[in-house]
Amino acid sequence: MELTDRHGRKHRSLRISIVDKCDLRCTYCMPEDQHFLKREELMTRKEISTIAKLFVERHGITKIRITGGEPLVRPDAGDIVRDMAQLGVSLGLTTNAMTLDRHLDGLIAAGLKNLNISLDTFDAERFKKIARRDGFDRVWASILLALEKGLRVKVNMVVMRGVNEDEILRFVEFTREHDVHVRFIEFMPFAGNHWGRERVYTYAEMLGHIGSVHTVEKLIDDPHSTAKAYRVPGWPGTFAVISTVTEPFCGDCDRLRLTAEGKMRNCLFTREETDLLSALRRGEDIAPLIEANVLAKHAMLGGLPQFKPEKEEEVLHDLSERPMVSIGG
C-alpha cells in the first residue's frame, strides 16, 4: 500500500539512521552531554534489511539514504549499503567523510553512487571549533577522492551567522572547477544546539551575498527536492539553499525516517514516533504501524509553528527532545 498522508502527499523516500554515534561532535548537531544507545538497542543488519525491504516492496519506497550519527563508524556499514543496493532503489549515504577514504572502494563496489558530505568550513582551525575535533584535511581529501572516483557528491554546509557565513563565496568557488553540488543549509533548531532565530543566516541573505559577486541562473528543482538550486553560468558545479527556517518546503514532502533504534518519524521535527523495532522483535506485522504513522503526518514542520522570530520561544519549547545526531541528515 502506497504511503499517503492525510494531506495527500505520497512518500517515496526513506532515511535510515544506522547508528547514533559519531566521530565528530558538531555544535549544531550533537549536544555536549549526549548519551548513546547500547548495542542491543540498535537495529541489527538483518533487522534493517527486513524493515527496508518491507518499505520498498509493500509501500513503494524508491529512494533510501543511509545516515547516522556517522554511519561509517558502524563496522558493518558496507554490508548494509550492499543490502540496500540489492533492493533496486536510488541509494545514497550521508557522511562526515572523516574515514571515507578507507571505505570508498568498498562502498562503490557495494553499489553506492550518491554521497552527501558535511563540510561547514575550509578553515582547519574553524573546523576544529565547529566539530570539536580536528579533521579538515582528511575530510577535504576524501571529498576530492570521491569526486575523482565519479561519485555524485553533495556537500552540505550549515550556515550559522557569526560562525561561517563569510565562507559562502568560497563554497560557490568550489563549483567553478568541480562537478559538485554545494548545499547551503539554514541553521535549524534541534535539542541541545543552542539555536536562536538571530543566528540564522537566511536564504535571502545567502542569495544577496552570492549575487553581489556572481550572476547566477536558477535551475529547475527536482520534484520533492529539499533544495532550491542555482548555477554560475558555465561552471560544472551547482549550489542550492535548504531554507527550512524562512521558506519551508513541506507542501510536497515525500520523506520518512527511521532512527537507529528502529523508531519511525514522519518528519524531521515530529515529536511523535512509532516503535517498529520492538513490534518486529515481538514477531508482529509492522505494516499497519507504518501506515498509521504516515497518515498522522502534520502539514508542516511536524506541527511546530513556523520558525519566525516572534515564535522562537514557542518553537524552542515545543521542540522534539531528540537531537540532530540521533535523527540523521
Binding site for ligand SF4 (CB under 6 A): 244, 248-250, 253, 255, 267-269, 300-302
Cβ-based nearer residue to ligand SF4, 51 or 250: 250
CB of 78 to ligand SF4, least distance (A): 28
Cβ-based nearer residue to ligand SF4, 49 or 226: 226
Whole-number Cα distances in Å, 198 to 121, 158, 176, 301, 319: 20, 15, 31, 19, 17
276 contacts: CB under 8 Å, gap ≥ 6: 51, 258, 262, 263, 264, 286, 289, 290
CB of 143 to ligand SF4, least distance (A): 25
The one-letter code for the residue type at 42 is: L
Cβ-based nearer residue to ligand SF4, 42 or 250: 250
CA atoms of 114 and 236, how far apart (whole Å): 17
CB of 9 to ligand SF4, least distance (A): 8
Cβ-based nearer residue to ligand SF4, 82 or 298: 298
CB of 220 to ligand SF4, least distance (A): 19
CB of 269 to ligand SF4, least distance (A): 5
Cβ-based nearer residue to ligand SF4, 94 or 244: 244
CB of 250 to ligand SF4, least distance (A): 3
Cβ-based nearer residue to ligand SF4, 121 or 259: 259
CB of 156 to ligand SF4, least distance (A): 15
CB of 307 to ligand SF4, least distance (A): 10
CB of 253 to ligand SF4, least distance (A): 3
CA atoms of 317 and 257, how far apart (whole Å): 23
CA-nearest of 74, 144, 66, 145 to 112 is: 66
Are 79 and 73 in contact, with CB atoms under 8 Å apart? no
Cβ-based nearer residue to ligand SF4, 19 or 267: 267
Cβ-based nearer residue to ligand SF4, 134 or 221: 221
Q: Give the residue ranges of DSSP H helices in the chain.
A: 45-59, 77-85, 100-109, 124-131, 136-148, 168-177, 203-211, 276-281, 287-295, 312-318
Are 246 and 29 in contact, with CB atoms under 8 Å apart? no
Cβ-based nearer residue to ligand SF4, 64 or 268: 268
CA 224 to chain centre: 14
Classified as helix, coil or strand, 1 is coil
What is the residue whose three cell numbers read 519551508?
248
DSSP output for 214-262: ---EEPPPPTT-SSEEEE-TT-S-EEEEE-TTTS--GGG--EEEE-TTS
Cα end-to-end span (Å), the chain: 26
CA atoms of 89 and 138, how far apart (whole Å): 30
